[in-house]
Amino acid sequence: MTIETAAQLRSIVDRAIDEVQITDMHTHIYDAGFGDLLLWGIDELLVYHYLVAETFRYIDMPYETFWAMSKREQADLIWKTLFLDNTPYSEACRGVLTVLHHLDLDVSTRDLDAYRRFFAGMERAEYLDLVFKTAHVKDVVMTNDPFDDLERPVWEQGGSRDPRFKAALRIDPLLNGWEDNWPRLRDFGYAVTAELSDATLAEVRRFLTDWVQRMGALYMAVSLPPSFAFPEASARGTLINECILPVCAELNIPFAMMIGVKKLVNPDLRLAGDSVGPSNVEAVEYLCANFPRNKFMVTMLDRVNQHELCIVARKFRNLLLFGCWWFLNNPVFIDEMTRMRMETLGVSFIPQHSDARVLDQLIYKWAHSREIIGDVLYEKYLDIANTGWQVTEDEVRRDVENLFGGYFWSFLEKKLP
């Protein structure tokens, strides 16, 4: 059906955005089989590290006093500080309100104990289904770390069972901490030494292959500092060159690089203590140009890197950009980055991932992003409609499907010559 008016176009875009079932390709949530690693409910929402960092901007409490509190006491303090003593319009605060609102709880009462009673009455499996339905999410990709002592045993006993939860092999300890972590590979049964000899590199490749296959990992991922460079005469440079890239090419899975995080600039904030720095896009360009059989998924944390990264993606079909990561997951940047990417890359990118750490965050992170992405997409259709190009409803649905997961899945299938 052709679309005659702007009003018709708007309602078709809105309906397509509302009805699309999303693949969320980067999260930190876990299926119920991982036990307490799956975080959910109002207190977990309130003690999210984004809100911890924001709370400390208002209070003089010693950090250790806060960390000694129970999770409920921390949540009470955060609720009072950010939601009652100040207005909760920051993106992370608004997110909590969006979750409560979409769960049909009365946000106007500001009654934290009433919200707690709602969650206390919810059974975990039932709530998991409710969140996926409310968030319009059909499947998510977890962040799975074999070096994590709570997570590894679950995989060794069979791993994730819920088909909605896919795996990604996260290798930060290997790449960013070789000197500290190589002994753990020995503990896991891989005959490695500190020296990156041919024998050690072969064992690292075996470790990577074993864990990708054990998890059914869709991709390998690492977060990298602003100083990341490639090629680089370092353990990380050697491991990427000799282990990560060959194994990813052989298994035809992407290597996902999340670049620009400055770890623990304020260690007292713990998980909330990381920051951001401008990074070197040339490392991405070099990798895409010199490893054409490898597929790369990249997101960068600093706003200043976004345009150059977009242009590098135009040059290399083995590069897929994804998400408005972390400090960029604010409406002001999601709008700017989505426009930049649509105007430069068309539909060939992944506009968003949630990075959810708490199950309930799927609801707000997607409600907020779907609205912005839908607004930008409508404007792009209207721009070409004004030339006489008549986009059809089927084409709108096709594009929306691709933006909210389809392109990710087809990139995974891509086999480069």
Query: Using CB under 6 A as the criterion, which residues of the chain lie in contact with ligand FIX when the complex forms?
Result: 28, 143, 223, 258, 271, 326, 355, 357
- In this complex, which beta carbon is closest to Zn ion, that of residue 41 or of residue 323? 323
CB of 292 to Zn ion, least distance (A): 27
Alpha helices in 20-104 (DSSP H): 42-46, 49-55, 63-68, 71-78, 91-102
Q: For helices 393-401 and 6-19, what crossing angle results, to 10°?
A: 40
Query: 366 phi and psi, to 5 degrees?
Result: -80, -35
CB of 260 to ligand FIX, least distance (A): 10
Q: For residue 255, what is the enclosing H or E element?
A: strand 255-259
- In this complex, which beta carbon is closest to ligand FIX, that of residue 271 or of residue 311? 271
- In this complex, which beta carbon is closest to ligand FIX, that of residue 326 or of residue 333? 326
- Partner in contact with 400, chosen from ligand FIX, Zn ion, none, beta carbon below 5 to 8 Å by kind: none
For residue 305, give every residue at least 6 positions away whose Cβ sits within 8 Å of its Cβ, in sequence order, or none: 259, 260, 278, 279, 281
CA distances 366 to 33, 54, 183, 230, 363, Å, are 24, 22, 40, 34, 6
CB of 369 to Zn ion, least distance (A): 15
- In this complex, which beta carbon is closest to ligand FIX, that of residue 61 or of residue 271? 271
- Partner in contact with 144, chosen from Zn ion, ligand FIX, none, beta carbon below 5 to 8 Å by kind: none
- In this complex, which beta carbon is closest to ligand FIX, that of residue 271 or of residue 416? 271
Query: What single-letter amino acid sits at 368?
Result: H
- Partner in contact with 357, chosen from ligand FIX, Zn ion, none, beta carbon below 5 to 8 Å by kind: ligand FIX
CB of 199 to ligand FIX, least distance (A): 31
**Dihedral, CA atoms, 281, 141, 274, 72, nearest 10 degrees?**
160
- In this complex, which beta carbon is closest to Zn ion, that of residue 43 or of residue 355? 355
Structure token digits, residue 159: 């791993």
For residue 413, give every residue at least 6 positions away whose Cβ sits within 8 Å of its Cβ, in sequence order, or none: none
Q: How far is residue 254's CA from residue 259's CA, in Å, rounded to a whole number?
A: 15
Maximum alpha-carbon separation in the chain? 68
CB of 174 to ligand FIX, least distance (A): 14
CB of 222 to ligand FIX, least distance (A): 8
Give the residue from 126, 113, 79 showing the smallest Cα distance to 105.
113
- In this complex, which beta carbon is closest to ligand FIX, that of residue 268 or of residue 343? 268
Q: Which stretch binds Zn ion (CB under 5 A): 160-168, 185-193, 276-284, 350-358?
A: 350-358
CB of 156 to ligand FIX, least distance (A): 23
Which residue in the set 355, 360, 399, 401 belongs to the binding site for Zn ion (CB under 5 A)? Answer: 355
Q: For residue 166, what is the enclosing H or E element?
A: strand 165-166
- Partner in contact with 119, chosen from ligand FIX, Zn ion, none, beta carbon below 5 to 8 Å by kind: none
- Partner in contact with 337, chosen from Zn ion, ligand FIX, none, beta carbon below 5 to 8 Å by kind: none
For residue 388, give every residue at least 6 positions away whose Cβ sits within 8 Å of its Cβ, in sequence order, or none: none
Q: Which stretch binds Zn ion (CB under 5 A): 3-11, 33-41, 150-158, 352-360?
A: 352-360
Alpha helices in 188-298 (DSSP H): 198-215, 235-239, 245-251, 281-290
Q: Which residue is nearest to Zn ion (CB)?
A: 355
- In this complex, which beta carbon is closest to ligand FIX, that of residue 41 or of residue 95? 95
* Sites of contact with Zn ion (CB under 5 A): 355
